[in-house]
């Protein structure tokens, strides 16, 4: 895709976003819905600006981002390590495959009472729940990427007399990079969702708790402002990971 086409697509996406904001403002102004329940985008954005000016939203946003990133890093490291072990062994895949497929569809909320029983309603509980929920996309993507290594590359490793660990590190993991990075992007989204849910449950400082308290107090502008911030966090983190992915995978375009 050339520069002109990319510019047109980018401009079109911005236009669609602005159209949705204008539609939101139109509905808020003329639908007859009370501002207590549906503030306009201008009120929501004013709430965000005021929150940052007073310093409250700075701390809440930082806490949510920190919790999301720590949980995502734990999930990514654990998912890549376990996925590498399972994906590199046919016997491990046959042995653990059915168990993984059985556990994978279970909602993370089903694990929450178990984690709460051990750790209580604490920040550590939120961190562990994030890691449990975000590990699956990374784990399954790593297993798929490593198990799908080109057979000719395996033959090359044998001809070079590489050991299993060397083959995994020098051939299998680089070959599985696209799958692993795709899984990490999905895991990052899951991490943000679970961070917000965990903050709502535990009353830990963060945007999740901020949105919940604002909703209980009928401060709708603050609620929508918090949701806007969460959307911006998700957007910025995804764009950043996409940029890192393009940089790490630039060798594929050569």
Structural domains in the chain, sorted by start: 41-253 (1.10.3720.10)
pLDDT over 80 at 151, yes or no = no
Output the pLDDT for position 37.
Answer: 86
pLDDT over 80 at 134, yes or no = yes
Phi-psi region of 49 (alpha: psi -120 to 50; beta: other; left: phi over 0): alpha
Instruction: Give mean pLDDT, residues 1-7.
Output: 71
How distant, in Å, are the alpha carbons of 58, 155, 157, 184 from that of 77? 28, 28, 25, 10
Better pLDDT: 103 or 125: 125
Q: Which residue has the tokens 């060798």?
A: 251
Q: What is the pLDDT of residues 181-234, one digit of tens each?
A: 999 999 999 999 999 999 999 989 999 999 999 999 989 999 999 999 999 999
Output the pLDDT for position 62.
Answer: 94
Burial (CB count within 10 angstroms: exposed 0-12, middle 13-18, buried 19+), residue 160: exposed
CA gap 239, 227 in Å, rounded: 18
Which of 48-62, 140-154, 223-237 is the least confident region? 140-154
How distant, in Å, are the alpha carbons of 118, 164, 172, 176 from that of 159? 50, 13, 15, 21
Output the pLDDT for position 14.
Answer: 86
Instruction: Give mean pLDDT, residues 153-182.
Output: 80
CA gap 191, 135 in Å, rounded: 9
Q: Return the closest-CA partner of residue 228 out of 104, 44, 84.
A: 44
Contact 245, 181 (CB under 8 A): yes
Instruction: Give mean pLDDT, residues 156-166.
Output: 74
Angle between helix 220-248 and helix 177-202 axes, rounded to 10 deg: 160
The token pair at 138 is 């990374």
Output the pLDDT for position 163.
Answer: 75
Output the pLDDT for position 1.
Answer: 55
Output the pLDDT for position 2.
Answer: 67
Instruction: Give mean pLDDT, residues 141-166.
Output: 78
pLDDT band for position 31 (cuts 50, 70, 90): confident
CA gap 232, 48 in Å, rounded: 12
* Residues with Cβ within 8 Å of residue 228, at least 6 apart in sequence: 44, 45, 48
Q: Return the closest-CA partner of residue 61 out of 249, 206, 217.
A: 206
Output the pLDDT for position 253.
Answer: 61
Instruction: Give mean pLDDT, residues 149-155.
Output: 74
pLDDT over 80 at 80, yes or no = yes
Proportion of the chain above pLDDT 70, given as a percent: 98
Please provide residue 87's backbone torsions phi and psi, each rounded to the nearest 5 degrees. -65, -25
Contact 137, 183 (CB under 8 A): yes
pLDDT over 70 at 79, yes or no = yes
pLDDT over 70 at 63, yes or no = yes
């Amino acid at each position: 895709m050339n520069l002109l086409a990319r510019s047109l697509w980018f401009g079109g996406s911005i236009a669609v976003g602005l159209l949705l904001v204008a539609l939101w403002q139109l509905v808020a102004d003329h639908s007859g819905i009370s501002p207590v329940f549906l503030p306009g985008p201008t009120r929501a954005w004013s709430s965000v600006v005021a929150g940052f000016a007073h310093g409250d939203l700075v701390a809440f946003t930082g806490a949510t981002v920190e919790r999301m990133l720590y949980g995502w890093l734990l999930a990514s490291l654990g998912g890549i390590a376990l996925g590498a072990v399972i994906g590199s062994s046919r016997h491990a895949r046959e042995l653990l495959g059915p168990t993984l497929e059985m556990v994978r569809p279970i909602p993370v909320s089903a694990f929450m009472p178990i984690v709460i029983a051990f750790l209580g309603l604490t920040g550590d509980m939120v961190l562990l729940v994030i890691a449990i929920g975000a590990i699956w996309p990374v784990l399954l993507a790593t297993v798929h990427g490593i198990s799908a290594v080109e057979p000719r590359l395996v033959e090359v490793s044998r001809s070079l007399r590489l050991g299993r660990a060397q083959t995994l590190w020098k051939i299998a993991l680089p070959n599985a990079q696209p799958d692993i990075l795709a899984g990490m992007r999905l895991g990052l989204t899951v991490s943000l969702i679970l961070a917000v849910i965990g903050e709502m449950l535990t009353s830990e400082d963060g945007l999740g708790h901020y949105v919940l308290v604002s909703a209980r107090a009928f401060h709708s502008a603050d609620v929508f402002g918090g949701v806007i911030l969460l959307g911006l966090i998700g957007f910025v983190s995804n764009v950043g990971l996409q940029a890192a992915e393009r940089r790490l995978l630039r060798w594929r375009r050569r």
